[in-house]
Amino acid sequence: MLLSGGVLRELIRLSQECCRECMLELELASTKSDLVIDADILAAAVKTLRNQFARSLGSQLYELLVKIYADFTPPDAQSSEFLELLHGLYVLEYENDDLWYDLHPLVTDLLQRKQLLTSST
């Protein structure tokens, strides 16, 4: 559930990708019939979804993502770049006592892999 950011649609998307990975495993090793989703299957699914996020991001969007990560709010909530990230679920909107934003956990992982997030960010 943590990798979905609390978004049910993203949990289903992750589960679906795990199932795709299992189907691929079953096709490659036709004698294996007791396949379960394990850490390796999950890691492959996460890698696929993380790469899907990475495909459409340009360097300017990375800068905006880092700023949102640091501030929990966008510099301009009406900008087309921010709205694109929000609608694409790169950025998730949360509301409790306040309205705030955070990055999808897989996007956070992507930024960490690119060393765009430091421990102080």
Return the pLDDT at 32: 65
Q: Is the pLDDT of residue 1 over 70?
A: no
Candidates 80, 97, 69; CA nearest to 5 is 69
Instruction: Give me the pLDDT at residue 26, please.
Output: 85
Interval 5-40: pLDDT, tens: 888 999 999 999 999 999 888 888 766 677 888 999
Model pTM score = 0.85
Rounded CA separation 65/80 (Å) = 14
Contact 18, 41 (CB under 8 A): yes
pLDDT surpasses 60 at 46: yes
The 10s digit of each residue's pLDDT in 84-116 is 999 999 999 999 999 999 999 999 999 999 999
d(CA 90, CA 75) in angstroms, rounded, equals 16
What confidence tens digit (pLDDT) does each residue in 54-88 have? 998 877 799 999 999 999 999 999 999 999 999 99
Residue 121 pLDDT > 60, yes or no? no
